[in-house]
Amino acid sequence: MVERPEREPGEARADASEGAVDDVLDRPLPGGVRRRVVALTAESFGALTVAELPAPLRQYARFTPARRAKFAGNAMAAALESDAVFRQRIAGKLREAQPELAAALEEGTAPAAADPLDVAAAAYVLRPEGWVKLVAAAGEEAQRARAERAGEEAERELARLREELAQARSEARGDVERVRADLYAARKENESLQRKLRSALSDVKRGEAAVRKAEAALEAAQLQGATDKSVTDSELRRLKGRVAEVEAALEASRRAAREGRSVEDMRLRLLLDTVLDAAQGLRRELALPPASIHPADTVEAVEPGRMTPKDIATRALSEMDPALLDQLLALPQAHLVVDGYNVTKTGYPTMPLDKQRLRLLGGLAVLAAQTGAEMTCVFDGAELAAPVLLAPPRGVRVLFSKPGVTADELIRQLVRAEPPGRPVVVVSTDREVADGVAKAGARPVASALLLKRLART
């Protein structure tokens, strides 16, 4: 039990007995009254200085009224009951905020239009004469309001349940009607299905009879087919014998034709040999020299573009002379095989690989157009980080080695694929490649020679 607060300045002393006051203080305030008291205290809380607040409430000095009511409600209610000075300060702020309500309570009357809970909360803080009855009356009023609300809610719930029951009964009647209609439809459908079943059974019986009839017809057809096959086989054997006779007669006629033709061929060959022997005898008789030199060749002169006798000593071309490559590509059916990266990394190694390929292939396309020779450019597939989308230029075949196969091996395969005697020129500085293709019959040249030739295009 807390001590009763001392008389506040200007506040009338309650005439209630000591026992009644202690009874109110011992019992908890009604919920509604307590919430209004906490809200009223939270509103007046901000008008006090930190020094005017009890020590437990100073930490909530900077809170908003709503947060004070939420987090410091119990502490404020306890301070109002135990700290008379704090309650007197809250009462003073209440008189300033609601002077009419405070004056009416101190005079012993409550405004008729005021909310009972607000009246009870103000009476609890101001403690005028008869405040205990006001608090008790507010609790009873709150209980009556709750009871009335509970009764209204129960009536609304009962009405709702009655409506749901009526609706459920209506739906049940509808469901019964639908079930009856569905049952009637199911019976009709069952009768229809039974009729269809009887019709289907009749069709099955007719089908079985038709199958038996068809099987009998099939057996008769098979028997007739066996008879016809026997007759056909005998006729086929007769025709085969006749064909054999005709083929024998045809072969005899062909043999006779060949023998007659061979006699004519022999006579023609004998006549040709006679003419050739007569010509050779006449050549020996006249002692004529072979016609390898024409009369115009005996006239001494210098033809346009030909070397003079002074240039005979310099006729041999250097291994690095681009004219040597032109002479090789001028051979009939010449095939130029280029080790791509070996040439590009010799001529322009600082460029990216894609730029190297494009530059080399562009030069080879021009060279192919000038010489008309077949050209194949081989690149190492291991150098690729991704598939190359490349349109080969006109006249140049572009190949990439497969995974696990080097460009050198692919070049050797190309050389081995060519027929013996065809002029094949391989451009590579790699000594192993040059020696390998040379053994296979190809002509190796250095990469620098092709670079010099391409520089002239």
CA 296 to chain centre: 81
Give Cβ neighbours of residue 365 (< 8 Å, ≥ 6 apart): 393, 394, 395, 396
Q: What is residue 426's three-state secondary structure?
A: strand
pLDDT computed for residue 363 by the predictor: 93
Reported confidence tier of residue 264, pLDDT bands at 50, 70, 90: low
Q: Which of 123-127, 187-191, 270-274, 367-371 is least confident?
A: 270-274
Reported confidence tier of residue 266, pLDDT bands at 50, 70, 90: low
DSSP string, 149-216: HHHHHHHHHHHHHHHHHHHHHHHHHHHHHHHHHHHHHHHHHHHHHHHHHHHHHHHHHHHHHHHHHHHH
Q: Across 99-103, 293-297, 386-390, which has the greatest mean pLDDT?
A: 99-103
Reported confidence tier of residue 232, pLDDT bands at 50, 70, 90: confident
Buried b (16+ CB within 10 A) or exposed e, 195-216: eeeeeeeeeeeeeeeeeeeeee
pTM across the whole model? 0.35
Segment 413-419 shows an average pLDDT of: 89
**Torsion angle defined by CA atoms of residues 345, 349, 353 and 355, in that order, rounded to the nearest 10 degrees:** -110
The predicted-structure confidence for 308-326, as pLDDT tens digits, reads as follows 333 333 345 777 888 888 8
What residue ranges define each of the domains in the chain, with the CATH number in brackets?
18-129 (no CATH), 321-455 (3.40.50)
337 beta partners: 376, 426
Percent residues over pLDDT 90 in the chain: 19
Q: Is residue 92 predicted with pLDDT exceeding 70?
A: yes
